[in-house]
Structure 1
């Protein structure tokens, strides 16, 4: 299955090797990683590995993060999408084998509504095309922007939990509540 989603201002599609430079710009930025463990990447090889990981997710898990592009400029802005988290290594808040919605944008694209616009499209795809029953989200308690986005797109706060020394908010949205 090839993934391609379009919104009013964005195109979301499967990652390609050609996005290595964009991933490096995104994930080498300390500001982007402020609430992600403060461990930005430092090499293009790491950026290539990230894209390989996304490609493996498409093949092995049937879903993954999408490369996001601004329609007006054609620029790579970051990623948004759904991820199937499996096994103990990807467990979160006591959950394994769950779908989460996520987004990560290059800072010059922050504050334009792109994260919520792309996340809405991903939720729609997840519930209507992939037929998921529930989609989760998580954000560092101190990441006000990400918490606002998860709430804006309809996810409901469930609880706060600790993860690697950080307090994290856990959200969920059930298919039966989607669009209400």
Structure 2
């Protein structure tokens, strides 16, 4: 876990990205991201409809920093300074996912105009590195919907291994489960 939970300050740089903690000022970008039906195609098809919904999501992530010491990171494109989505690690404690209740996962969600540029892989590798070298986690998991081939490919490039398919009853989704161990 992050040492100072009350004041999570994260700054990770990759070749093309800056990963930092999400802030309330990221509201416009979060709304652009989560209101897009294309982005939610493999997330249960439930895009947000209002900025208030996006503000609740942001507040929830910021609260995760305080309660769990970790949460998703804002992904900022270095060349433009634009918010392009989020990436990073979170501690899931909300629901049972494929037999796991308390586990860390790596994930990402990008605004569609930034798809196909390798940002999911780049940010995901940085997040895995942070999880293993800084947080000293023994393992990470990831999940995709079965039909999301682009995310499947990105997770494999990040270094995760496909484990199995499973059905997530709560959301009525057919999902894939991935794992990577800290070696």
* Fold equivalence (TM over 0.5): yes
The superposition leaves residues 148-173 of structure 1 with CA deviations (integer Å, 9 ceiling, x where unpaired) of: 11111111111110013221110000
1:113 and 2:118 equivalent?
A: yes
1:121 Cα deviation from its structure 2 partner: 0.2
Structure 1 stretches of 4+ with a deviation exceeding 6 A read none
Alignment of 1:25-40 (within 5 A): 25-40=32-47
1:97 and 2:68 equivalent?
A: no
Distance in 1 separating the partners of 2:95 and 2:182: 23
The superposition leaves residues 18-49 of structure 1 with CA deviations (integer Å, 9 ceiling, x where unpaired) of: 11010000000000000001000000101111
Match of 1:8 among 12, 15, 32: 15
1:3 Cα deviation from its structure 2 partner: 1.3
- SS of the counterpart of 1:124? helix
TM-score by length of 1: 0.95
Match of 2:155 among 150, 159, 169: 150
Distance in 2 separating the partners of 1:91 and 1:67: 26
Distance in 1 separating the partners of 2:28 and 2:77: 16
Distance in 1 separating the partners of 2:54 and 2:143: 23
Distance in 2 separating the partners of 1:157 and 1:123: 16
Match of 1:135 among 133, 140, 145: 140
Q: CA RMSD in A?
A: 0.8
What's the counterpart of residue 29 of structure 2? Answer: 22
- SS of the counterpart of 2:164? strand
Match of 1:48 among 42, 46, 55: 55
| Structure 2: runs of 5 or more not aligned | 1-7
1:14 Cα deviation from its structure 2 partner: 0.6
Q: Aligned pair count?
A: 174
1:4 Cα deviation from its structure 2 partner: 1.2
| Structure 1: runs of 5 or more not aligned | none
What's the counterpart of residue 3 of structure 2? Answer: none
